[in-house]
Structure 1
Amino acid sequence: MAAARQKKTFACPVDVTLSLIHGKWKPMILWLLSARQHRFSDFQAAMPQVAHKVLSQQLRQLEADGLICRAARDTGRQHMAYQLTGFGRSLRPALNALAAWGKDHHHALGAEYGAPVSEVG
Structure 2
Amino acid sequence: MKLGIPHGEVEAFACPVTFTVDVIGGKWKSLILFHLIAQKRRFNELRRLMPEITQRMLTLQLRELETDRIIHREIYREVPPKVEYSLAPLGETLIPLISAMREWGATHEEVVLEYRRKASEPLPHNVD
TM above 0.5, yes or no, is yes
Whose Rg is larger?
2
**TM-score, length basis structure 1:** 0.78
Task: State the alpha-carbon separation in 2 of the partners of residues 8 and 27 from structure 1.
Answer: 21
Q: Kindly indicate whether residue 16 of structure 2 is the aligned counterpart of residue 13 of structure 1.
A: yes
Shift of 1:13: 2.0
Shift of 1:77: 6.5
Task: State the alpha-carbon separation in 2 of the partners of residues 78 and 7 from structure 1.
Answer: 34
- Give the equivalent residue in structure 1 for 2:86: 83
- Give the equivalent residue in structure 2 for 1:67: 70
| CA-atom RMSD in angstroms | 2.4
Q: Kindly indicate whether residue 52 of structure 2 is the aligned counterpart of residue 49 of structure 1.
A: yes
Shift of 1:68: 0.5
- Give the equivalent residue in structure 2 for 1:118: none
Partner letter of residue 20 of structure 2? T
**TM-score, length basis structure 2:** 0.74
- Structure 2: gaps of 5 or more residues: 1-7, 115-128
- Deviating beyond 6 angstroms after TM superposition, the runs of 4 or more aligned structure 1 residues are 74-77
Q: Which moved more, 1:64-73 or 1:48-57?
A: 64-73
- Structure 1: gaps of 5 or more residues: 112-121
SS in 2 for 1:8: coil
- Identity within the alignment, %: 35
